[in-house]
Each structure stands twice: as structure tokens, then as C-alpha cells.
Amino acid sequence: MGFVQSQALYALVKLKTLEHLLDGPLSQEALADRACVPIARMEILLQAGVALKLLRRHRRGRYGLARRGAALLGVPGLAQMILHHDHFYQDMADPVALLRDQVDTKLAQFWPYVFGATGAAPQSVTDEYSRLMEQSQALVAADTLKMVPLKGAETLLDIGGGTGAFLAHVARQYPALNLNIFDLAQVGPAAQNRLAEQGLSDRISFHGGSFRSDPLPLEADVISLIRVLYDHSDETVQALLKKTYEALPVGGQLIISEPMAGGAAPTRPGDVYFAFYTMAMNTGKARSVAQISALCNEAGFVDIKTPKAPRPFITSAVTARKPR
């Protein structure tokens, strides 16, 4: 039942039915015409939307947004992530084949940047990745900054920072902090354009390079890895954490923020959704707080902490420091 519900939600978003209702209720005939769907079948979708509490029935066969439907449209990036699930659900159509590694997954084709530094990913791929990450970053940024205050920091380097979605939130909250992005050179033009649109070109600097093969800038006393580690294998993460450790000054801080598995107490977001998602990517995995902490300790970090996450299904955090 859950899969069919998710597909009904996907159809409502893909057909822009919720958006069409922003200005008020419409008849099923009008909505069917806009969606290019036969009226009888559109009625089935609309009734499903009511059952999911996304829509409300009105008099004379009209439908309008329910509170949940309006809230969905108000969450930055949520509609885009729902549409992105088209790739994931195709991969989950045969979970046994996925588990046996007998399928060429759509997600592995969508995220080719994770497979290595050899060969540049097409500009269209890096642009699509950056847009999706930016659109879904607002909640992650808000929760990360609640868990990890940056008071007293001087320079922050965000590795894999894309177009600066996380640092844009940091810039608003910490106007005196020196901010830097380190990401693939192909991301640079989109990042510069996005920063200029937000009036942040003078606040945030972009450094092009791959953390696999290029040195990290050395001036930061805080380095952040926001939704980075779970994209990569243990070997890649070990090398990245070691490189991060070497780039930080004595006493420098590392911030890791991403959805995490539950370890001995498995969770639905971490051990069901993100575990299978990263499996379909063919690289990386959802790790528990204990696993990430152990990797940080192996790299030489101390004072490893796990602040309480306000919404673990959005993100959790691990912080660590380079010993003095």
C-alpha cells in the first residue's frame, strides 16, 4: 500500500495538481484538462489526494488544497525530491536483484560524480546535482546550525558545498565569518551565479578541485562535510577525513552532518530509506553515529561529540577536533 501511496503523491506533484490549486479550488474537469488526463482517471487521483490528506473536497465537484498539501509546497526542495524518487523507485522495483547486485541502477547513472576523480562529469549532471542539493538543503542547514553553533569560529570551509546552499544560511546567521566552498571545478560557474543572485559573492569564496586528488585550502579553522560521507565508500571517507585532519590547524573543528543509521537501534530513515538509497547508488552507505565517530578517531580526531538532533530523519551531526 505504501508504494502505491507514494506513486499517487508522485503523480500529484508531477502533474502540478497541487500548484494548480494554489489560487483556490478547481473542478475535476479543469484539473483533468490541465493534466491531460481523462476525467474519470483524474477523479481517482484527486480522491487519492483527499485520502492522503493533501486535498479537500468542496461543493459542486471541486477540489482544493488541504493543510498538508499547502505545507508540502512550502517546504523548499520537497517537491523536487519527490520527483527525484522516480529514479530510486525504478531501482526498487526488483529489490532482490538490487540486493544481489544484478541491476544497473538509475541512481548510479544519475550520480556518476561519486565514482572517482578520473574524467570530468558532464556539466548537465553537476548542474542537476547542485540544484537538487540546494533545493533540499534548507532544513539540513537549519538543523545543523541548531546543533553546532559557530560562535568563535573565524574561517569555515565547506567541502562538497555545491552552489553554497549551506553557507548561504551560515552567512545570514554569522555575518563576520569568512566562508569558503571547495567543490568540483565544474560546479564553479553555477556556484558563482547563485552566490551573485543572493548578493553573497563578496562573502563566500569558491575553490575548485576534487578532495580525492587535490589539496584542501589550509586557512580554515572549521571544516564542514554536509551530506558528503554517505555518498562514498569507507576507503574514500578514510582518505577524506585524513586529508581534512591535515588541513585543519591545531584545535580546529570538523562538522559532519547527514542522515545516519541507527546502529544497534535501526531507524526507518537511516536503515530503510537511506541504506537502500546508497545501495542503489552503488557506492557509499548510511553509517551510524558510532561508525562515523570511529572513522574520525582513526583519522586522529579527538573530543568527538554527537549533539542531539532535533529531526534525525532530516540530519544528525558529529563534531570532532584536531588535538592541541
The grid coordinates of residue 109 equal 547513472
State the distance between the two ends of the chain, measured CA to CA, in whole angstroms: 55
pLDDT of residue 153: 96
Query: In this structure, what CATH number is given to the domain that contains residue 24?
Result: 1.10.10.10
Q: In residues, how long is the chain?
A: 324
Query: In this structure, what CATH number is given to the domain that contains residue 210?
Result: 3.40.50.150
Q: At what angle do helices 28-35 and 39-51 cross, to 10 degrees?
A: 110
Q: Looking at the domain assignment, is residue 94 inside a domain?
A: no
The grid coordinates of residue 127 equal 548542474
Question: Is 192 exposed, middle or buried (CB count within 10 Å of its CB: 0-12, 13-18, 19+)?
Answer: middle
Verify that 151 and 206 share a domain, yes or no: yes
DSSP-assigned letter for residue 309 = P
pLDDT of residue 137: 82
pLDDT of residue 282: 86
Verify that 70 and 110 share a domain, yes or no: no
Distance between CA atoms of residues 233 and 280, nearest Å: 13
Q: Looking at the domain assignment, is residue 253 inside a domain?
A: yes
Residue 292 · residue 260 · CB < 8 Å: yes
Verify that 112 and 250 share a domain, yes or no: yes
pLDDT of residue 307: 97
Q: Looking at the domain assignment, is residue 240 inside a domain?
A: yes
List own/partner pairs for 50-55 with CB under 8 A and 24 or more apart.
Answer: 52/5, 52/8, 52/9, 54/9, 54/12, 54/18, 55/12, 55/17, 55/18, 55/21
Verify that 112 and 40 share a domain, yes or no: no
Verify that 38 and 114 share a domain, yes or no: no
The grid coordinates of residue 34 equal 490541465
Q: Looking at the domain assignment, is residue 99 inside a domain?
A: no
24: left (phi over 0), alpha (psi -120 to 50) or beta: left
pTM score, whole prediction: 0.85
Verify that 65 and 194 share a domain, yes or no: no
Verify that 45 and 146 share a domain, yes or no: no
Q: What share of the chain is helix, strand, coil (3-state, %, to 5)?
A: 50, 15, 35
- Counted domains in the chain: 2
Distance between CA atoms of residues 235 and 240, nearest Å: 9
Q: Which domain holds residue 241?
A: 106-321
- Strand ranges of the sheet holding 316-321, from the earlier edge strand across to the other edge: 204-208, 178-183, 155-159, 222-226, 253-258, 316-321, 302-305
pLDDT of residue 121: 57
- Averages of pLDDT over runs of 10 residues in the chain (324 residues) are 92 97 97 98 98 96 96 86 87 95 87 50 61 76 96 96 93 96 91 92 94 91 97 95 97 97 94 94 92 98 97 95 96
Residue 296 · residue 238 · CB < 8 Å: no
pLDDT of residue 126: 58
Find how far residue 223's CA is from the centre of its chain.
18
Q: Looking at the domain assignment, is residue 120 inside a domain?
A: yes
User: How far are the Cα atoms of 140, 213, 248 from residue 301, in angstroms, in the given order?
Assistant: 24, 22, 11
pLDDT of residue 80: 83
Q: At what angle do helices 123-135 and 188-197 cross, to 10 degrees?
A: 40
Neighbours of 208 (CB within 10 A): 14
